[in-house]
Every structure is written in C-alpha cells, then in structure tokens.
Amino acid sequence: MNRTYELMFIVRPDMTDEDLDKLISTLQSAVPASQGSVKSVEKMGKRRLAYTVRKFNDGIYVLLIVEGGGSAIHELERRLRVTEPVIKFLTVRTDEEQKRLDKIKALRDARKKVSAQPAASGEPTPAAEAAETPAATA
C-alpha cells in the first residue's frame, strides 16, 4: 500500500520558529511507526487567510508530503487534531493524479518527437492569410 499524500496544515501566526520546527519533527517521528515515510517538508511561510479561522486572520502554512498507507495518515491527522497551535489542515491523495500527469506527459513527449519532422508544413498558412487580406480590402 504505497500511496502519496499531501498534508497541508496551518499553525497560528504567533508561533516561533523553534516551536514550529519542534512540532514538525514530532509529527515526522510519528510517521515511521505506521510504515510510512516523509518525503519532504516545506514551510510555505506566513500568509493571510482567506477567512477568519479560530479568530486568526494569518497563519503559517506547512506542507508535508507523506508516502504510506492510510494508517500513517490517520495517525498524523489525529495528532494534528489534538495539537493546539494547528488551526486547520487538509490531506489530499496525490499518487493517482501524479500517475495521470505522467501519462499525459509521456504522451506529449511521444507526439513531439513525431511532429518534429513535418514542422515545415505549418509555415505556409500565415503567408496565405497575409496575401488574402490586401485582396479583400482592394
């Protein structure tokens, strides 16, 4: 069961950097216990929220990319829910979307190789249009 999830959460804006690092590391330490792994951690910085959440108008956004089964996510979400400074979180499963994107990309690359040779056929059309417009006005 290898799935990829994006876990985005918002912590309250008055949190210090050390506290935030500590919070993230405790979250990370919980993941391997349930056969998961943290792929990356990104602190997206402080941002104005689109609406008030728990009387806060700003928040510090953090993005975790986690690989593993549902149990890892379940544990992480439970922890986020009980952690006081976390005001909001969202989990999105991304592996299927990524698979779809890879497929499209592969398809496009294949098509690009094919269309590389008859590129010259695209040239005459603008020239023909340019020739047509003076004739129409005259």
Q: Could you list the residues that contact other proteins (CB under 8 A)?
A: 8, 10, 48-51, 53, 57, 59, 61, 63, 88-90, 92, 97, 100-101, 104-105, 108, 129, 133, 136-137
CB closer to other proteins out of 18 and 123: 123
| Cβ–Cβ under 8 Å, residues 79 and 24 | no
Nearer to other proteins, 18 or 137 (CB): 137
Q: What's the rounded Cα separation, in Å, for the pair 59 and 65?
A: 19
Cα(81)–Cα(44) distance, integer angstroms: 20
In the complex, the smallest distance separating the C-beta of residue 53 from other proteins, rounded to whole angstroms, is 6
How far apart, in whole angstroms, are the C-alpha atoms of residue 115 and residue 4? 34
Which CB sits closer to other proteins, 34 or 43? 43
